[in-house]
Each structure stands twice: as structure tokens, then as C-alpha cells.
Structure 1
Amino acid sequence: MSSRKYRVHWVRLLALALVVGAVGVGGFTAVRGLRIARGLVHPACLPVTRPSGPDALTDLEEVSFPAAGRQLRGWYRPSRDGTAVVLVHGFADNRTRLLFEARVLAGSGHGVLLFDLHGQGESEGDAIGWGDSEREDVRAALAFVRARPDVTPGRVGLFGFSLGGTTALLVAQEDPRVKAVAVAGAFPDLAGDMGSHYGLSTWAVLWGLRRAGIDVGAVRPVDGMCRLEGRPLLLINGGSDPDGPLKKDGSLYRAACEPRRQWVVPEAAHGEYAQKDPEGYARHLREFFDPAL
């Protein structure tokens, strides 16, 4: 074999090896991403335990209401002043995650609704929608609270954590009857959030979410922050949250119009606001919702 043919032969072998390697890596990435997506759409349901003890929130009513053909279950603490706040939990969680926030707000006289999103806690459903289908849950929760005899319909606010915060923003942007919205650890857009977690597998994860019926492109509250149109907004983040304001560059806050405020708990990771600064967290919630509602 001549030296020229020898070089061509090895170039072809190298090219073939690169193609085979790329196909192998792509296949592995696809399988891994789809497996991740299945777990994201079908999280394990955490058991709901009614609070007890001296610091427990009392007078909680067991409630349920329909949303998109599914029955959602939760607890409601009646309002003492005609105002109410709907609280929306995050991924792979349930209503008990927001008991601290509920106690603080109930202490100010607000009615509070804690409920499980579909496919989580005690609510019906076998899959979640990462803020897409959850919008129907939050709309139904708002309708339930507005229909309560102890609540003035125009004095209802929203609070959401993480996935629940993103969903709360999406709903508030569409529903001008939401008087005020506060969110903690919310992500600006679903695709970006997945990208920050899954790197090279992100395309496969997003593909898996879309195959599950999730409209990924619709979960982008960052695009509509000014649709709040003068209603108060509070954004809360942890300074030690890897997806907090530094990594996301404060995009939700920068996209929002006034009135807006942002509070960062320096040492808090995702969801650790009450653990790291309970007094400051409670104060910010009261100082936001009390005058807003």
C-alpha cells in the first residue's frame, strides 16, 4: 500500500471512529436525559402530615376543589380581615412545605390556602407539568378562595416557592385580579432552569418533557413581568442557592416594572429562608402582604 493510500485509509478509520463515538455519546445522552425527564414528570409523592404541637397552625379546614378534571386537596385557614393568600409549593413536595409562611400570614389576619398541586401530595394526578398545567391548579385555587364568604374577592394575593413561584408569576401575569404576588426561588424560564442542572443532557431532558405534553416555551415568566401592571411584586432568593440571583443574574427582577422589591438571604440555599433568617423572612412577608392586600 502506498503512503498516500495508507494515510487515506487511516483518515477514514479515524472519521469512522469519530462518527461511532459521537453516535454512542449521543445515544447515552438521550437515554440519560429521557430517564431524568421521566423522574421530573413523575416525582414520588411525599406524605402529608397534619401539623401538631404548640407552634402548629390551628383552625385548618380540610378542603378540596376541582382543577382540569382532577380533585385537589388542601387546608384553609379562614380570613379575619377579608384578605387571603394562596400558597403554592414546589417540585416533589406538598402543602406542608409552606406552613411557616402560612403561620406568618395567618398571624396578620389573612386567610391562607395551602394545597397540593396535581400529581403531588394528596391531590389527584399521576404526572406534573412544571408550571404549564399547574396554572390551572392555581386558577382553581384562586377561584375557591374568592368564593369564600370570609374573603373580599379583590383582596387576594399569591405566594409561590420554586416551581410554585414560577407558576404564581405566570398566573398573576394573566389574571389582573391577583392583588399582589411574592415568590421565593422562582426560575425565569423552564428551559434555562433545566440547562443549569443537566448540561449536555438538557436537549434530551427537554425532549422528554415535551413528549410528556409540557409546553416548555410557555413556562417563561421572565417574558411577562411587566404584565403585573402596577401590582406589588416581591422576589426572594437565597445567596447560596446555585440557581439564585447570581447565576440567573437577577433576570426576573430586571424584567419587572415597579413596584418591585427583591430580598436576598445571604447564607440561604434553595428554600432555606426560614431556617437562616426566620425573623427577617417573616417581617418581609408581613411588610409586603399587609399593605398590599
Structure 2
Amino acid sequence: MKTTPRPFRPVRILAFALAGVLALAAFIALRHVRAAHAVLHPARQALKPLGAATLAARTDVALRTRDGLTLRGWYVPSRNRAAVVVMHGFAENRTQMLFEAEALSRAGYGVLLFDSRGHGESDGELVTWGDREREDLRAAVDFVAARADVEPSRLGVLGFSMGGTTAMLGALEDARLKAVAAAGAYPSLVADTRYSYGRWGPLSVLPVLWTMRLSGVDVDAVDPMARLCELKGRPLLLINGDVDAYAPAFLQDALFQAACEPKAYWVVPGAHHGEYAAKAPAEYERRLRAFFDAALLGGP
């Protein structure tokens, strides 16, 4: 017995195609929700062991934030009445910044290194990409400003990556910080998310931003580029590698263009994210010292 073939039904084909598109969209969105959870709760990295001569004058310190967290760190006393707070990047800890800390300490600066919330030995389970980390920096500034070896009008901050963005945000809110150096920083959390997760456009970007917002991150507050001119004469130094895939040149250039004078921008040849000391150690140290000397000590 012959069967008659079913007639072609374009509506059915369209329905199957739409179902496939929706399934793909849901898969992409779920994948990026999971990615957002991972960057909000990174695995902690153990502190690297220090040799006896590394920051030999350091003492252990505990900072208390206004939202109730204890942050662990080290302080090296000042010999020139000035001090610099040093902030590490995402998924790292204070030992990431040993080169910078030693360079500044050799120049006579008091240096405070600490683990940001959710990192290293500090309290906290949520990393907010510069939002609540502003409170970490505020606690650090409170600490150094109260030191007997430091003149409170001679305080600066140096941050890398997430720490660099936090440094700019914190300085915009705290006039006690007279100089800001930011290496490999991002101009805003929205811009960084679009760059890092923009392969599928809104399908991949929006789930990340929504997850951050639902987790309590004030995404819109992490936007130093929009307000950099509010530093009002306090100098800014931006540092980046010319082959940095995490902090691409177009974002760094936009950040620099948004800033007002006095400002400086050093691009390190051949440096990936955070490789400034590896590629140009002497020049990196010289530039850090010259920047903070001019801003905090009245040097040339």
C-alpha cells in the first residue's frame, strides 16, 4: 500500500530552526553566567615564599574595612615621610607586587601591601572588580595616614589590573591620595566585560553583567574613565604592555585620553599583562620612583 508523502511545511521548519536558535542562546547565556560566577569567586592563591632579604623591614598588619572585613598585609616603614599603598590584581595576592614594593622601599617610601577581599589571607568571598574593593583601599589609606613615620599629605597608590582600576576609583573618592599609578587597568567594568565576553554580543555580555548585578556588584560605579578629570591636579601615571591581551591598547588609550593633566603614559615594549618588571626592570623602577618623587616629595 502506497503512502503519500507529507507536504512540505515551512512553518514546521521555521519552528525547528527557532527552537535551535533559542537553545543555542540559552546555552551561551548559561555558559556566561557560570563564567561570571567564576570571576566573582576566584580560587585563592597561596602567598609565594619570601627570602630573608625580601622586604626585610616588613611587619604583619591587619586592616579593618568599614563593612567588617579583616585584610592581611605587610607594612614597610617610611624613611622619607611618604607612603604608597600597593594593590595586586585579580586572582592573586600581595606577593604579586614584590618588585614594586621593593623598588619603592629602596627609594625610602613606606609601603603597604595587602590582600584584597576574597584574595590571599584576607576575609571575604565575593570579588567585586573595584566596587567594594574601594573600601579595602580606604582602610589602607586610613592605616598609612595614621602612621607616625608618614606625613598624611604625602600618600600615593599603585595598583595593577583590578588593583589599578580600584586605585583610580579610590583616589577619586579620597583626596588624601595625592598620586595614582595604574598598570594594566581597565577603564570601566562594562567596557572590560564587553571586551572580554563580547564574542556573542549581548548574548554573552548581558548574562555576565546581570550575574554581577544580582550578586551585589555596583557595575556602573566601576567607571573611573568617566570621572578621571575629578582628580583635579593630582598626577596620574598609566602603564601598559604593548602586547597585553587583557588590557588592549584601545582601552588604555581611551583611559589616557579621558584623563586631565598632569598625566603620563608609559607603554612597555614586548610586555604582556604584568610583565613590566620582566621586560624593563630598571626603567620600570626608575619611572615609579620619578613619578612618586615628583608628586609626593616635590622632586623634578
Do both proteins adopt the same fold according to a TM-score greater than 0.5, normalized to the shorter chain?
yes
Query: Does 2:263 match 1:260?
Result: yes
SS of the aligned residue for 2:85 comes to: strand
Aligned length: 286
Determine the C-alpha separation between the residues in 1 that align with 2:17 and 2:257.
44
Determine the C-alpha separation between the residues in 1 that align with 2:272 and 2:208.
24
Q: Is the 8 A contact 2:117 2:123 kept in 1?
A: yes
Q: Which ranges in structure 1 are unaligned for 5 or more consecutive residues? A: none
Determine the C-alpha separation between the residues in 2 that align with 1:245 and 1:70.
33
Aligned-residue offset at 1:148: 0.8
The aligned residue for residue 187 of structure 2 is: 188
Q: List structure 1 runs of 4+ shifted beyond 4 angstroms.
A: none
Aligned-residue offset at 1:31: 1.1
Query: Does 2:287 match 1:284?
Result: yes
Aligned-residue offset at 1:244: 3.5
SS of the aligned residue for 2:286 comes to: helix
Aligned-residue offset at 1:124: 0.5
SS of the aligned residue for 2:256 comes to: helix
Determine the C-alpha separation between the residues in 1 that align with 2:137 and 2:159.
10
The aligned residue for residue 154 of structure 1 is: 153
Aligned-residue offset at 1:48: 1.6
Determine the C-alpha separation between the residues in 2 that align with 1:243 and 1:36.
16
The aligned residue for residue 141 of structure 1 is: 140
Q: Deviation digits for residues 103-160 of structure 1, max 9, x if unmatched?
A: 0101111000000001100001111111111000001100011011111111000100
Aligned-residue offset at 1:186: 0.3
Query: Does 2:59 match 1:61?
Result: yes
Determine the C-alpha separation between the residues in 1 that align with 2:48 and 2:238.
28
Q: Is the 8 A contact 1:155 1:179 kept in 2?
A: yes
Q: Is the 8 A contact 2:82 2:151 kept in 1?
A: yes
The aligned residue for residue 30 of structure 2 is: 31
Determine the C-alpha separation between the residues in 2 that align with 1:263 and 1:14.
57
Q: Is the 8 A contact 2:187 2:252 kept in 1?
A: no
The aligned residue for residue 90 of structure 1 is: 89
The aligned residue for residue 51 of structure 2 is: 52
Q: Is the 8 A contact 2:63 2:71 kept in 1?
A: yes
Cα separation, partners in 2 of 1:28 and 1:41, compared to 1, 3 Å: same
Aligned-residue offset at 1:249: 5.5
Normalising by structure 1, we get a TM-score of 0.94
Answer with 220-229 or 244-253: which moved more: 244-253
Answer with 230-239 or 42-51: which moved more: 42-51
Q: Is the 8 A contact 2:62 2:71 kept in 1?
A: yes
Aligned-residue offset at 1:6: 5.2
Q: Is the 8 A contact 1:174 1:227 kept in 2?
A: no
The aligned residue for residue 123 of structure 2 is: 124
SS of the aligned residue for 1:128 comes to: coil
Determine the C-alpha separation between the residues in 2 that align with 1:144 and 1:274.
28
Determine the C-alpha separation between the residues in 2 that align with 1:275 and 1:105.
17
The aligned residue for residue 114 of structure 1 is: 113
SS of the aligned residue for 2:206 comes to: helix
SS of the aligned residue for 1:237 comes to: strand
Aligned-residue offset at 1:49: 3.5
The aligned residue for residue 220 of structure 1 is: 223
Q: What is the aligned-residue RMSD (CA, Å)?
A: 1.4
